[in-house]
Amino acid sequence: MGFFSYLRYSIKQSLWRVLAKLFILLSPILILFVIVEYLTRYIPNSIQEKKQLFETRIKFTEVLVLGASHALYGINPDYFSCSGFNLSNVSQSLFYDTEITMKYLDRLTRLKAVIITIFYPSFWFELSDSFENWRDYLYFRSYGIKYPGLKVFTLETISYAAIYPRKLLIQFCRDPTRFTTEKLHENGWILSPPAQDVSGIDDIAGLDRFKYHHSLVKRSNLFRNLHYLARIMAELQKRNIKIFFVTVPVYKTYSKYIDQKIENENHRVIDELCSRYGCKYFDYSKDSRFIMSDFYDSDHLNREGAKKFSMILNKDFVSEACKTQ
């Protein structure tokens, strides 16, 4: 064996030994990652599970409910006069309301009405601006919907373990039974918690909730959200599908802190949209019919509050919309 042949052989052998040692060193980490990745695929995912439910009910759906958690817990289509589906979700923005509806609109052959729920920061909010921005990747993985600016050449697009926050992963690995979507009804509504003690609804809790929502308000998002809404509303109007804007009730320990300038701007925006696209607006945010026992925190209805609210919606406009041919 010549000198250079021997040198190549020695380098090759050394490289294999280094790689073998590196593999032995990293194998526990790789094994742990594989285990965590396997487990995270079993974390109940309301976005994916709701998509699967919705696709089984598309041909029956006559009323569609859009929005974030206030609609998710607060509107139960079981109390509608015709078949409805609650397509809202936690922190769901107007971008996803629009894109999901547009994705399925041609298959919603019996659709008569769409309820777009609007909360204090809705027009000024994007999911990517919140601490729950990791949900952008769940929408991408579940629906194939890509939020503008979302990086797709990342680990999150192929790994669920990379999507979820570390704290949530640790909680799931310790006790998987804590995570369940068994409260997700076949109509898309999630059974909200029962009324809790006053400490979750008092002035301090209400102020904390409001401060968080107010931190999501960014004026730069208004134009984009109006662009999203104009797109879906124009299409709904063309198909003679009725459009209703609804503001869900909040308790007085929350409403007392609302910035009136933002509130007035919200009303102005909705009035302009309804003038252009023929929709109607129902504001129940300060409805005195809702008392503390109807809420599980300062801005979410509990299961009894949801029943009460859904029956009111049906009486006020849903039942009439259901009669549309």
Which portions of the chain are predicted below pLDDT 50?
6-7
Q: Cβ(234)–Cβ(277) under 8 Å?
A: yes
The confidence score (pLDDT) of residue 164 equals 75
pLDDT, tens digit, 9 for 90 and up, residues 97-148: 999 999 999 999 999 999 999 999 999 999 998 888 999 999 999 999 999 9
DSSP string, 170-210: HHHHH-GGG---TTB-TTS-B-PPPP--GGGTSHHHHHHHH
Count of CB atoms within 10 A of residue 31's CB? Answer: 10
SS3 283: strand
Terminal-residue alpha carbon distance, the chain: 90
Q: What is the CA radius of gyration of the chain?
A: 24
Domains of the chain plus CATH, in order, are: 46-160+182-322 (3.40.50.1110)
pTM for this one? 0.86
pLDDT at res. 193: 67
Distance CA(271)–CA(313), nearest Å, equals 19
What b/e sequence results for 59-69 when a residue is b if at least 16 CB atoms lie within 10 Å of its CB, and e otherwise? Answer: eebbbbbbbbb
Strand-pair category, 113-117 with 242-247: parallel
Please return the burial class of 279, using the count of CB atoms within 10 Å of its CB with bins 0-12, 13-18 and 19+. buried
Which residues lie below 8 Å from residue 182, measured CB to CB, with a gap of 6+? none
- How many whole angstroms separate alpha carbon 319 and alpha carbon 309? 14
Residue 70 makes CB contacts below 8 A (sequence gap 6+) with 117, 119, 248, 250, 299, 300, 301
pLDDT of residue 176: 60
What is the pLDDT at residue 180?
56
pLDDT on residue 218: 93
pLDDT of 7 reads 47
Strand partners, 271: none
Whether 50 and 77 have beta carbons less than 8 Å apart is answered as no
Beta carbons within 8 Å of 187's beta carbon, 6+ residues apart:
57, 76, 77, 78, 84, 85, 86
DSSP 288: T
How high is the pLDDT of residue 115?
98
Helix, strand or coil, per DSSP, at residue 94: helix
Which phi and psi (to 5°) does residue 202 adopt? -75, 180
| 158 token code pair | 């192929």
d(CA 314, CA 81): 7
- List CB contacts of 307: < 8 A, sequence separation 6 or more: 76, 79
Structure tokens at 225: 């959200």
Structure tokens at 37: 């990745």
DSSP H stretches of helix in the chain: 3-40, 46-57, 69-74, 94-104, 135-143, 160-163, 166-174, 203-215, 222-238, 252-255, 260-277, 303-313, 319-322
